[in-house]
Every structure is written in C-alpha cells, then in structure tokens.
Structure 1
Amino acid sequence: MDYLWLEEPLFDENVHSLRELTRVLDIPIVGTEVIAKHPYSVAEYISTRTVDRVRADVSWTGGITGVLKTATLAEAFGVNCEIHTAILHPLELVNLHCAAAVSNCSYFELLTPLETFAFGLVEPLPIGDGIAALPSNPGLGIDLDWNLIDDCTFKIL
C-alpha cells in the first residue's frame, strides 16, 4: 500500500506502544499533534524514533515560535514536521507561513470546503489545484472581515 502516513494511531502518551508500532510498520507513523509543551515534550519522541514524523500548528503548539522550534528540532534529527490544521482559516494563514519557513514540511493540511472554514476572512485562502500560495499583503497577509466579526460578537468583556 502506498499510504502517505498513519496519523495518531495511538494516544501520544502511550510512548512504548507507539514506538513499537513505528518500529514494525512500513507506513510512516505521525504523532505529537496535541501533546503539551512543544518543543520540549516532542524531543523524546524524535530522539527515540517513537514516531517517524511530528505534527505542530500555531493553535496547539505555542504559536509561531513553538511551531518553528518543533520543526527545527525535528530537522536536526532528519525528521519532518508536518503542519496540522488549525481549523479556522485565519490561523491557517499563520500555519501556511510556518510551513513555508521550514524545509522539513512536505504537506499542508487544510479543511474544506474553503467557504465553511474561512470565517472572518475578507478573501479565502489563496489555494488552487491543490497548491497553497502565500498572500502578498503585508505582515501575515491576513485581511480580517471586521464587519462580520462585529456582527457575530455578542459580548465584549
């Protein structure tokens, strides 16, 4: 079988079983998606080959800094850091920048249909034919739809 990978087949905390599964399967095992305290907690998984690839995203793993540190740590061991979906597309743009900034990310995960998850954006993510492009706007390139956000606001604390 020609699978890209098997994602999170066991809880990340089940380190021994996850390491054994990684050892015996030919399919790459991907983990650490939701484990706390990236990159510190991921170091053992990488150095002991508990997984073949790690996952990170700005909403789960310490923002941009956490993702870049996790990816850099993985790269030092010759391991890919695949960027996990953050679900809402404003955060996906941040993840897209992280994916483009590292050399050990081969895949960018994105939920579809684009319109469903583009809440709060003026324009949907720049994606066509399976290719994501970085926006050309300043900064992260995020143009938020403040009218929609204000209309959906029910209380300001």
Structure 2
Amino acid sequence: MIALPTPQYGKILPPTEPGGPHWYAIDHLVTFGDTSMAGFVYYIRLIEWQGQLRETLALDLAHEYMDMMAEGQLVMLTQSVSCEYHSEIKLGEVISLRLTTSWVTGHRCLGDYAYYRTHSDGREELVASGQQMWTNVDANGEPTAWPQCVIDSWHQMNIDTSQAFTTP
C-alpha cells in the first residue's frame, strides 16, 4: 500500500468557466536543478512536472488506483504529451501547476495542464500549457475499464464520466 500523505499536497480550484471542470493544483518552487546555466527552466522539466502533478492528484484523490498500479494490476499509459511555452520560467519563481481532465471516453482521457507564475502581489500569469492523453490498461496491456476510485475522483473535479468504461 502507498501511504496517503496528510495533509493533501494539492488543492482543488474552482472552474475557470461556470459549470466547467475544477482544476487540481500544486505549487512548485523553481530551483537550480530545474534550470540551465542561463537560469531558464529546461523544457523537459515542464513535462516532468506534468507527471509529478498527475501522480500527486492520484495520490490525493484516487490512491487506490496508485496502489493497483504499484501492484502491477493496472497501467496508465501516456499516449501523447504536449507543452507550449508562453513565457520563460526562471530560478526562484513559484509556479502553480494545474491539471484538469477535458474528456473521458472509454478507457482514454485527456488531461489539460496550465502553468501559472505567481507574482508577489498575488497576480497570476499563464506561462505554459500542455496536454497528455492517457489509456488505462490491465497487466497484459489490454484496454480496461476505469476503476470506481478514478471515476469518483473525476466526479470531485466536476468531470463528465458518462462516456467512460467503468467496472460493474
């Protein structure tokens, strides 16, 4: 079993549009390990942060799913990844990493990422955005239904799961 940290690492933020999905967010302090000699964040770090955010959300909201993956029962395959810079990210900045799910169909879903720079006066600036498409498969690599704990976590985030394959 994976120990669920207390308190939760992240927080659920309200939708950006009325009736839309909620966002899950964690804050990240940019360190030297994230940057080049020039002080800018390496592009690959943004992709790594996507994985960190996805796993933190799952530990917080669907830790049973993480247990199933750790035990080799299920695998969440990343089918595609994208990331687009809007502004350079630098050493010492605090970046709010955010994730929501824009759609769930069958055994696949699409995660939307947003990276916001948090200014000292509380303003936020979108500095990058991205997406990942995931597929839920069993230990043999065959597409399989999403476990109820994942469906429940999407419901907490106001995500439409009506098209998802679910377990009976």
TM-score range, shorter chain: under 0.3
TM-score, normalised via structure 1 length: 0.27
- Structure with bigger helix share is 1
Tell me which protein shows more strand as a share of its residues: 2
TM-score scaled by structure 2? Answer: 0.26
